[in-house]
């Protein structure tokens, strides 16, 4: 950041379409330096923790990066998604300060635990903020140079996993790991100073931190950070801000296919490609999106504990594959006995490398180490002769029907191939005879009519008989978390409601 502020002080670092505001590298460096000095004046120093509760915007990024600059561990929280877990997260993190946006709906201080001082903030450039506002207070903080920088092995971020089936887990990274995670993205996607990266996912998730925020800081690119995805504004953002890389997830791609916009790549001359990550993108939807919009899709895969493990190169993509292992990762596919499988065979992904998170955080002084020499992330995959990896399912999503293993992802992909289906998921439910059977769930495209009978017939024509779902629920929307992953508890609730009727 100091180098960017010195070499390109007037270049835009971050733009907020929702706020109609932007900050240059020079101004961002000054604000984050003042914030770091403010923390020191507050008695908050290296190794202490702060939590940040805010929607996307310029202000929380100042808090996020200012803390990182002075070695304070930063814990960003998405209040909207995490509401039932915020109190527990704050209790476990035990932050020295909690910074919260006054733009949030409701007052999050009701979720407070004892011991932390809460400091609110509004817009960084507000002409007459309240006297106790963070940015009002920063205006009186000296712009003294920072005298201390964190070491590679110091803690940086404390992020919580998506928690689709249970309470989210906190994973803690070193500064070395955060740098390496961002470096892997820059290397694989060939990002540079000339790029403008669009993201709209909440900054508390690890994926935007290492796909857009970190790489923009590392390279000197510009970050366009919207508050949340808006289908009616998405292509306008790309055109108006001259975006070169647009971040995507399968849910967004499915939404853009369900209600196509009259836009092609020719209307977006600066756009290089769109990414897809956080959940598997079916080959069928990948191909349909590129055929509809002419926009290349570059698929990657990663996690809070690992960063991006694999990714396609923009010029060397394989549909259906998550690409090859990234710069700072080693990826092995092992069988149940711990032996590496041959090309074309299925195994569990076991990853290691300098970008791994160090431990799960369960409270001050209570860390559960994450294996650095071989972390089993639960993904099942195969690798082709050229080293491209293909996700075939999740170990915990394997459905065991009468002793036979069925990958839920295979059924989901089959449902997505039906022309009337916009989105789909598969999960296992208890069965008195087989122990467990697969159930599909599908969302019709607008204006289309998909029946359970037709979708089961489609599966019968495509799948082995024992893999055909026992039922297919047709719903208006699949319940998902903010990362675009199906919420398993909500899916089971839908099934139980159906069973009661």
Model confidence pLDDT, tens digit, residues 466-480: 899 999 999 999 988
Per this entry, what is the length of the chain?
Answer: 501
Burial class (CB in 10 A: 0-12, 13-18, 19+), 465: exposed
Identify which has the larger pLDDT, 210 or 162: 210
- Specify whether the CB–CB gap between 104 and 118 falls below 8 A: no
pLDDT on residue 21: 96
Round to whole Å and give the CA distance between 182 and 160.
18
Lowest mean pLDDT among 80-84, 307-311, 369-373: 80-84
Percent of the chain's residues with pLDDT above 70: 96
Mean pLDDT of 230-257: 95
User: Which helix (H) or strand (E) covers residue 3, if one does?
Assistant: helix 2-7
pLDDT digits (tens, 9 = 90+) for 311-335: 999 999 999 999 999 999 999 999 9
Round to whole Å and give the CA distance between 281 and 92.
34
Round to whole Å and give the CA distance between 40 and 237.
38
The model's confidence at residue 165, banded by pLDDT at 50, 70 and 90, is very low
Q: Is the C-alpha dihedral spanning 98, 101, 249, 264 positive or negative?
A: negative
- Specify whether the CB–CB gap between 480 and 81 falls below 8 A: no
CB-hemisphere CA count at 13 Å for 182? 20
pLDDT digits (tens, 9 = 90+) for 33-72: 999 999 999 999 999 999 999 999 999 999 999 999 999 9
pLDDT digits (tens, 9 = 90+) for 363-416: 888 999 999 999 998 888 999 999 999 998 877 778 878 767 788 888 999 999
- At residue 81, does pLDDT exceed 80? no
- At residue 131, does pLDDT exceed 60? yes
pLDDT on residue 279: 79
pLDDT on residue 92: 92
- Segments in 315-407 forming alpha helices (H): none
- Specify whether the CB–CB gap between 298 and 276 falls below 8 A: yes
Q: Cα-flanking dihedrals φ and ψ of residue 26, to 5°?
A: -65, -45
Cβ-proximal residues to 163 (8 Å cutoff; 6+ apart), any chain: 85, 169, 481
CB-hemisphere CA count at 13 Å for 491? 25
Q: Cα-flanking dihedrals φ and ψ of residue 5, to 5°?
A: -65, -30
The average confidence (pLDDT) of the chain is 92
Enter the tokens of residue 473.
């629920």
Identify which has the larger pLDDT, 254 or 357: 357
Cα separations (Å) of 389 from 243, 361, 378?
29, 30, 14
Round to whole Å and give the CA distance between 30 and 143.
7
Torsion angle of C-alpha atoms 384, 312, 210, 231, degrees rounded to 10: -120
- Specify whether the CB–CB gap between 313 and 188 falls below 8 A: yes
- At residue 495, does pLDDT exceed 70? yes
pLDDT on residue 126: 92
The model's confidence at residue 162, banded by pLDDT at 50, 70 and 90, is low
Residue-by-residue DSSP string for 63-108: HHHHHHHTT-EEEEE-HHHHTTTHHHHHHHH--SEEEEETTSSS-G
Round to whole Å and give the CA distance between 370 and 363.
15
Round to whole Å and give the CA distance between 424 and 254.
10
- Specify whether the CB–CB gap between 352 and 325 falls below 8 A: no
Q: Cα-flanking dihedrals φ and ψ of residue 179, to 5°?
A: -60, -45
Q: Look at strands 117-121 and 21-24 and give their pairing.
A: unpaired
- CA geometry: angle at 416 spanning 413 and 418, to 5°? 125
Percent of the chain's residues with pLDDT above 90: 73
pLDDT digits (tens, 9 = 90+) for 415-469: 999 999 999 999 988 887 777 899 999 999 998 988 999 999 999 999 988 899 9
pLDDT digits (tens, 9 = 90+) for 256-279: 998 999 999 999 999 999 999 987
Round to whole Å and give the CA distance between 343 and 360.
33
Identify which has the larger pLDDT, 340 or 113: 340
Q: Is the C-alpha dihedral spanning 462, 467, 470, 476 positive or negative?
A: negative
- Specify whether the CB–CB gap between 295 and 274 falls below 8 A: yes
């Amino acid at each position: 950041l100091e180098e960017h502020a010195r070499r390109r002080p007037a270049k835009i670092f971050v733009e907020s379409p929702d706020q109609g505001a932007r900050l240059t590298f020079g101004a961002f460096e000054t604000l984050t330096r003042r914030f770091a000095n403010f923390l020191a004046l507050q008695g908050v120093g290296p190794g202490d923790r702060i939590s940040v509760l805010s929607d996307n915007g310029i202000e929380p990024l100042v808090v996020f990066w200012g803390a990182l600059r002075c070695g304070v561990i930063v814990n960003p929280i998405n209040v909207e998604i995490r509401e039932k877990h915020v109190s527990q997260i704050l209790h476990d993190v035990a932050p020295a300060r909690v910074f919260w946006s006054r733009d949030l709906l409701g007052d999050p201080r009701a979720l407070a635990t004892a011991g932390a001082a809460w400091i609110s903030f509004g817009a960084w450039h507000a002409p007459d903020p309240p006297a106790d506002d963070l940015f009002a207070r920063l205006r009186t903080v000296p712009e003294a140079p920072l005298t201390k920088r964190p070491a590679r092995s110091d803690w940086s971020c404390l992020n919580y996993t998506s928690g689709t089936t249970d309470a989210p887990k906190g994973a803690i990274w070193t500064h070395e790991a955060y740098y390496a995670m961002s470096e892997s993205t820059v290397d694989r996607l060939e990002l540079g100073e000339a790029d403008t990266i669009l993201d709209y996912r909440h900054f508390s998730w690890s994926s935007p931190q290492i796909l857009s925020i970190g790489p923009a800081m590392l390279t000197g690119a510009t970050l366009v950070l919207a508050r949340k995805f808006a289908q009616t504004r998405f292509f306008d953002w790309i055109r108006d801000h001259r975006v070169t890389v647009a971040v995507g997830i399968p849910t967004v791609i499915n939404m853009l296919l369900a209600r196509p916009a009259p836009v092609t790549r020719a209307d977006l001359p600066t756009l290089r490609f769109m990414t897809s990550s956080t959940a598997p993108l079916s080959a069928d939807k990948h191909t349909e999106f590129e055929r509809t919009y002419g926009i290349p899709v570059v698929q990657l895969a990663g996690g809070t504990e690992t960063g991006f493990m694999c990714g396609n190169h923009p010029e060397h993509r394989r549909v259906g594959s998550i690409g090859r292992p990234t710069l700072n990762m080693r990826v092995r596919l092992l069988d149940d006995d711990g032996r590496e499988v041959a090309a074309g065979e299925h195994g569990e992904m076991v990853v290691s490398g300098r970008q791994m998170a160090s431990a799960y955080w369960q409270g001050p002084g209570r860390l559960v180490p994450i294996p650095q020499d071989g972390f089993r992330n639960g993904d099942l995959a195969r690798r082709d002769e050229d080293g491209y990896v293909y996700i075939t399912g999740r170990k915990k999503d394997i459905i065991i029907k009468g002793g036979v293993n069925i990958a839920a992802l295979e059924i989901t992909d089959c449902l997505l191939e039906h022309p009337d289906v916009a989105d789909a998921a598969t999960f296992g439910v208890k069965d008195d005879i087989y122990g467990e059977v697969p159930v599909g769930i599908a969302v019709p495209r607008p204006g289309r009519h998909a029946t359970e009978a037709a979708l089961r017939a489609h599966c019968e024509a495509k799948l082995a008989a024992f893999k055909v779902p026992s039922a297919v629920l047709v719903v208006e929307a699949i319940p998902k978390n903010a990362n675009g992953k199906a919420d398993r508890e909500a899916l089971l609730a839908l099934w139980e409601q159906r069973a009661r009727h």
